[in-house]
Amino acid sequence: MEKIDIIDQLPYTEPFLFVDELMEVGENGAVGAYTFSGDSDFYKGHFKNHPVTPGVILTECCAQIGVVCLGIYLLQNEVDFTQKTIQIGMSSTQMEFLFPVLPNEKVTVTSEKVYFRFNKLKCKVKMHNSKGLLVCKGEISGMFKSNANA
């Protein structure tokens, strides 16, 4: 499965798609990038006159790139993605936020697989800004389920 095909399989669309590019994906992790558009609605109220990207959005970006893209890659031989039968849910997250991400800032997310068993994927994730500064890190787990026989 090509990297662009993995992005096409994500169950998200604008304005809730936080993956612009998937640079690497393999058995043990993924690397991808996203630029947070300054036009995004969440900047209007977070915070007055000093907008920063909310932590929940940073977490979602890490989950989409680091867990969901990797999970799709890992399941490519078990699931018929042409039928759009996969369901994905985050099961746990623990994140540490170190620096703000500003509007129009590009970030790169790197994930490292901790384990993948019984369709549960746990990854260590890191997000860096375009200057290479680590802005957040943590662990995210997600569950994958196929509805092919439902």
Active site residues: 46
First-to-final CA distance of the chain: 25
State the pairing for strand pair 106-117/29-35.
antiparallel
* β-sheet with 86-97: strand ranges across: 21-26, 29-35, 106-117, 120-129, 134-146, 86-97
What DSSP letter does each residue of 117-143 carry, written as one string?
Answer: ETTEEEEEEEEEETT--EEEEEEEEEE
Q: Tokens 């630029």 map to which residue?
A: 35
